[in-house]
Amino acid sequence: MLKNLVNLFFPPVCSGCHSFLLTNETVICTKCRHDLPQTNHHIHTENEAFKKFYGRIPVIHASAFLYFHKKGMVQELIHNLKYRGHQEIGTQLGYWYAQDLKNNLALKNVDAIIPVPIHKKRWRKRGYNQVDTFAEALSNELNIPVQKEVLIRKIDSKTQSKKNLLGRSEGIHHVFDVHFSEEAHNKHFLVLDDVLTTGATLEACSRALLTIPGAKISIVCMAMAHS
């Protein structure tokens, strides 16, 4: 009853186009859901996300759910999630992408999901990690546990999107550290992030995790920058 009363005075709107949502719609309206620019990376093993890491780090699988265009709908979704507290967007994107990833053979032996961590200073300011609800949704649908204690962000680096390619690569390799026991040996880790751009942050995360003996890495992102 309380929810209905709140919806009466503050009706939910689409996080993509800001139109009012219908009763059977959640987070994103049907039109925006239909218009989402999906990559279909899950269908192709050597897709463009996978190729981002050629010659950099060994990955079992890499993919992104959507294409990210400047001033596009996916940018609006990610900004609503990352800066405006709409964590339900991560949940919905995770649920949708999980349906595509369920039958992906490369991910059948994943042992743990690891969201790219944010620094504690940024956590105190924002109050949440924008990747966490995406991770939790994938965890629930794929039946893979989330482990947040393994990968640690020890340096609060500047926002990567504001740097050029050289700037993103320099210094990023020392941003992350790992805390692990012998139980983490020989595990397959699925690393999650919001937007794949140059791949520098994900490379740094993966390099840290690959210091664990026998570790294997796969990567999944909500979106991938696309020109």
pLDDT digits (tens, 9 = 90+) for 44-96: 999 999 999 999 999 999 999 999 999 999 999 999 999 999 999 999 999 99
Q: Which of 129, 151, 171 is nearest to 219 (CA)?
A: 151
pLDDT value for 63: 98
% of the chain at pLDDT higher than 70: 88
pLDDT tens sequence across 143-158: 999 999 999 998 876 5
| Separation CA 138–CA 127 (nearest Å) | 21
Determine which of 169-173, 181-185, 215-219 has the lowest per-residue pLDDT on average. Answer: 169-173
> Is residue 1 very low, low, confident or very high in pLDDT (cuts 50, 70, 90)?
very low
Distance of CA 56 to CAs 70, 183, 195, 211, Å? Answer: 27, 26, 18, 15
Q: Give per-residue burial for 144-176: e unless 16+ CB within 10 Å, then b.
A: bebbeebbebeeebeebeebeeeebbeebeebb
pLDDT value for 15: 87
Sequence-separated (6 or more) residues with CB below 8 Å from residue 50: 41, 59, 61, 62, 63
pLDDT value for 157: 67
% of the chain at pLDDT higher than 90: 74
Res. 138: pLDDT tops 90: yes
Res. 25: pLDDT tops 90: no
The pair of three-digit structure tokens given for residue 82, joined into one six-digit string? 């990352």
pLDDT value for 123: 86
Whole-prediction pTM: 0.89
pLDDT value for 5: 39
| Separation CA 6–CA 163 (nearest Å) | 42
Phi, psi of 61 (to 5 degrees): -150, 145
| Separation CA 50–CA 93 (nearest Å) | 20
Report strand pairing: 176-178 vs 151-153: antiparallel
| Separation CA 176–CA 153 (nearest Å) | 5
Side chain identity at residue 73, one-letter code: M
pLDDT tens sequence across 27-48: 899 999 999 999 999 999 999 9
The pair of three-digit structure tokens given for residue 191, joined into one six-digit string? 């690393």
